C-alpha cells in the first residue's frame, strides 16, 4: 500500500529525515514514536506532500506520489490528521468534519453515528465553532474530518493528544475493528505506550528510523 524508500527531507539546513525506508501494508497499523523534533511530523508531512522531498520516493498502491500536491494525495484515499489540527474557525464543527467530502466531491462514507459511538459528546459540538472547543475536542474533530470520506490509509500525528482515557480506548477500538476491514494507518506518537497494539513499531531519533 504505502512504500517509502531512502527518503531524505530537510527543514531549512536541518536534515530532518535521513534515508528512511519502511512499508505499510493493507490492513496494517504501523507506529512511529520519538521525542519532539525527532522527525515524526516532517515524515508525515512529506508523505502528504506538505514538505518537499529532497531525495527518495513515496509510493502508494503501486504509483509514485513523491511530487504530488496535498489535494491530489488526499483524493487517492489518504486521510491526514495533523498535530495542530488545522480547523477552520469560520465554519461549524459539523462543517469542518465534512470538508473532505466537499473537496473531493465524495459522499460521506463514515457517518455521524460512528463518530458519536467514539465520542458521544460530539453531538453537543456540531453547531459550535471549532476554536471554542477544548484541545481534546479539536483533536477528535480533526480525526473525524479525516475519517469522513472513508480513506484507505490514515496518517495520524499525535492523535491521542488531549484525549481522555475512555476516549483513547474507544478510538483505539475503532482502529482495531477497521483494521480487520482493510484500513491501514501510520501513527506518529511521542508516547510509546499509545502504540503497543500496532502491528509494527519503529523509533525515530535525529531523523533516523529504527525498527523495534
Q: Which letter does DSSP use for residue 191 in this model?
A: -
**Which grid coordinates are listed for 92?**
461549524
Collapsing DSSP to helix, strand or coil, 41 comes out as helix
3-state helix, strand, coil in the chain (%, to 5): 35, 30, 35
Query: Is residue 203 scored above 80 in pLDDT?
Result: yes
Query: Is residue 107 scored above 80 in pLDDT?
Result: no
**Average of per-residue pLDDT across 101-108:** 68
pLDDT above 70 covers a percentage of the chain that reads 98
**Average of per-residue pLDDT across 8-30:** 97
All domains of the chain in start order, with CATH:
2-211 (3.40.50.300)
> Would you list the DSSP string of 98-125?
HHHHHHHT----S-HHHHHHH-GGGGGG
Partnered with residue 57 across adjacent β-strands are 5
Query: Is residue 103 scored above 80 in pLDDT?
Result: no
Residue 99 to residue 76: CA distance in whole angstroms: 16
pTM: 0.94
The rounded mean pLDDT for the chain is 93
Residue 210 to residue 56: CA distance in whole angstroms: 17
pLDDT tens, position by position, 42-51:
999 999 999 9
> Which pLDDT does position 149 carry in this prediction?
87
Q: At what angle do helices 135-147 and 93-104 cross, to 10 degrees?
A: 30
**4 CB neighbour count, 10 Å cutoff:** 23
* Residue that has been written with the C-alpha cell 459539523 in this structure: 94
Residues whose CB is less than 8 angstroms from the CB of residue 105 and which lie 6 or more positions away in sequence, other chains included: none
Residues 134, 95 contacting (CB under 8 angstroms): no
Query: Is residue 108 scored above 80 in pLDDT?
Result: no
Q: Which of 81, 73, 68 is nearest to 41 (CA)?
A: 81
Residue 138 to residue 162: CA distance in whole angstroms: 9
Q: Which letter does DSSP use for residue 92 in this model?
A: B
**Average of per-residue pLDDT across 156-182:** 96
Amino acid at each position: 500500500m504505502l512504500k517509502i524508500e531512502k527518503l531524505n527531507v530537510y527543514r531549512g539546513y536541518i536534515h530532518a529525515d535521513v534515508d528512511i525506508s519502511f512499508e505499510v501494508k493493507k490492513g496494517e497499523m504501523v507506529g512511529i514514536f520519538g521525542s519532539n523534533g525527532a522527525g515524526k511530523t516532517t515524515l508525515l508531512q512529506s508523505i502528504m506532500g506538505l514538505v518537499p522531498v529532497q531525495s527518495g520516493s513515496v509510493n502508494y498502491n503501486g504509483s509514485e506520489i513523491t511530487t504530488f500536491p496535498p489535494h491530489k494525495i488526499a483524493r487517492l484515499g489518504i486521510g491526514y490528521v495533523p498535530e495542530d489540527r488545522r480547523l477552520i474557525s469560520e465554519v461549524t464543527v459539523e462543517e469542518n468534519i465534512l470538508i473532505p467530502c466537499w473537496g473531493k466531491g465524495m459522499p460521506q462514507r463514515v457517518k455521524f453515528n460512528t463518530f458519536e459511538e467514539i465520542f458521544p459528546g460530539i453531538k453537543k459540538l456540531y453547531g459550535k465553532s471549532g476554536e471554542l472547543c477544548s484541545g481534546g475536542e479539536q483533536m477528535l474533530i480533526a480525526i473525524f474530518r479525516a475519517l469522513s470520506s472513508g480513506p484507505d490509509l490514515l496518517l495520524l500525528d499525535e492523535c491521542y493528544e488531549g484525549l481522555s482515557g475512555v476516549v483513547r480506548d474507544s478510538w483505539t477500538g475503532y482502529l482495531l475493528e477497521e483494521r480487520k476491514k482493510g484500513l491501514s494507518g501510520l501513527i506518529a506518537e511521542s508516547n510509546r505506550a499509545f502504540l503497543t497494539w500496532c502491528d509494527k513499531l519503529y523509533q525515530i531519533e535525529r531523523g533516523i528510523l529504527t525498527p523495534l
